[in-house]
Amino acid sequence: MKILVTGANGFVGNSLVIQLLQRKYEVIATGRGDCRLQFNGKNKFIYASLDFTKKEQVENIFEHHQPDIVVHAGAMSRPDECEEKKELAYSINVTGTDILLAAAAKWQSHFIFLSTDFVFSGDKLMYNETDETGPVNYYGTTKLLAEEKVLQYPFGKTILRTILVYGKPFTGRSNILTIVKEKLEKGETYNVYDDQVRTPTFVEDLITGIIACIEKETTGIFHIGGKDVLTPFDMACKVADYLKLDKSLLQKVTRENFSQPALRPLLTGLNISKAQNELGYNPISFEEGLKKTFSS
């Protein structure tokens, strides 16, 4: 079975490719520029440079490899950057998804799309898959528009919404846990939101959810998150305690007293019952994820 992965150079894409290769799948990893994965040259692994906003490039890749499954993990995912560069964000997150869907349709590939809790407004906790959407920033808007295009795809399609992904980075992309470590080790203060509530997702749990969809050929919308309900400040404090760093350097901020270009939804925990029941999804605790993130 051939699986094409977009965004393979990124945090999630890199972890996914590792797990797929361990399961002996044939992987076509794609990303912008040169391969930054640490295992280039392995059997059943092909890397292809791809800008998925370019129709001709996408068509050539699909024509050559004819994937059975596409996991679209590539995106412009920094909310502030999306807010400040809306045209680029739309091109990558919406137009790029549309181009990939058109190419995948020719081969009737199962299309798995990674989305976000930011498609919701953040006015309640523990969102279900069927709850009304209403993004409060442009990143969320582009991902919701892309979701709508995926839902129109005439063949197998799966949308996985995830939330605040963390874990051990294999590439240069940091996440909240590693940023806290870097800041506190340097003795720098770090502003962390205490009025936003999330159910943070350990990256390997997210990968397990993706692979379950592949192996079960599951379609539909699923929420893939963690079990623990935490604010980013809670997470940062747990990192400081675990690594025995100076917690006093962490500064509590709220949406009202610390502004960023992109508004963040306040309450967006994801209800994972459907994934637990249909995919056998069983995420680890945040404490376990924290230990795995900083294990040698």
Residue 250 counted as domain residue? no
Residue 185 counted as domain residue? no
Residue 78 lies in domain:
2-165+201-226+271-283
- Name the pLDDT band for 296 (thresholds 50, 70, 90): confident
8 A C-beta contact, residue 160 and residue 114 = yes
Residue 175 counted as domain residue? no
Query: What proportion of the chain, given as a percentage, has pLDDT over 70?
Result: 98
Residue 171 counted as domain residue? no
Instruction: Read off the amino acid at residue 38.
Output: Q
CATH of the domain at 114: 3.40.50.720
Q: Which of 100, 8, 87, 93 is nearest to 55 (CA)?
A: 100
pLDDT tens-digit readout, 212-248: 999 999 999 999 999 999 999 999 999 999 999 999 9
pLDDT tens-digit readout, 167-189: 988 766 688 999 999 999 999 99
Report the domain count for the chain: 1
Residue 103 counted as domain residue? yes
Q: What's the distance, Cα to Cα, between the start and end of the chain in Å?
A: 33
Listed in order, strand segments (DSSP E) in 63-107 are 69-72
Residue 106 counted as domain residue? yes
Residue 295 counted as domain residue? no
In angstroms, rounded to a whole number, what is the distance separating the alpha carbons of residues 296 and 88? 38
In angstroms, rounded to a whole number, what is the distance separating the alpha carbons of residues 220 and 189? 43
Residue 186 counted as domain residue? no
Q: 125: number of CA atoms within 13 Å, CB side?
A: 10
In angstroms, rounded to a whole number, what is the distance separating the alpha carbons of residues 17 and 8? 7
